[in-house]
Chains A and B, each alone.
Chain A
């Protein structure tokens, strides 16, 4: 069965650079969620989109922005990167009316 695809899987950036993470949800899923997991921490919700509109917003820094495109893939744009942005970034997808979120493999971002 098709799963959530994230790219790239690993990304190394320097401080103050920008990064773009991509997420391709499971076909026919209409909702995408982004989570950030710091080292040794639990995943923290950043933002979600339903039918290309932002549906919820969590603890996402103003330096970050995201959108969902017409083909339902989503991108998380991160600017002015800081060392503290180093983390695993997960994308998950679901049917809005469904009850389960399916997680992608994650993108490991390292900021040096």
Chain B
């Protein structure tokens, strides 16, 4: 059974600081997704990582994938309050398969 673990689960940051969220998964997969969710809202796709060594950046967020280590990271640079949300990583074992989500990281960026 595929397991996906995120850490930390709660993250309180000061504006302007950097931090990294980690996502480990238990079985072979080359499909790793990062989503953002605001309270009571839907899942907003941030990044889709499909191969070992993939790195994608959008604004203050950068995601990477190491399939050998079964690890993905979401790096936050110079955090701003608008980044406050819950971030989920999710793994799909094959094309068209279900997604298995991590527990989510609740990020709060304080002024």
Contacts and interface: CB of A to CB of B under 8 A. Distances in A.
Contacts of A108: 40
Given A42-B88, A42-B104, A101 B42 contact: no
Contact of A98 (B35, B45, B95): B95
A105 B101 contact: no
Interface in B54-94: 88, 92
A101 to B, nearest CB: 6
- In this complex, the interface size class of chain A, counting residues with CB under 8 Å from chain B, is 20 to 34
Contacts, number: 56
A108 B45 CA distance: 20
A64 interface: no
A90 B101 CA distance: 13
Nearest to B97: A56
B42 A99 contact: no
Contact of A103 (B31, B42, B95, B97): B42
A102 B42 CA distance: 10
A100 B103 CA distance: 20
Interface in B1-57: 31, 33, 35, 40-43, 45, 48, 50
Given A43-B43, A90-B43, A108-B40, A97 B96 contact: yes
Interface of A: 31, 33, 35, 41-45, 48, 50, 55-56, 58, 88, 90, 94-106, 108
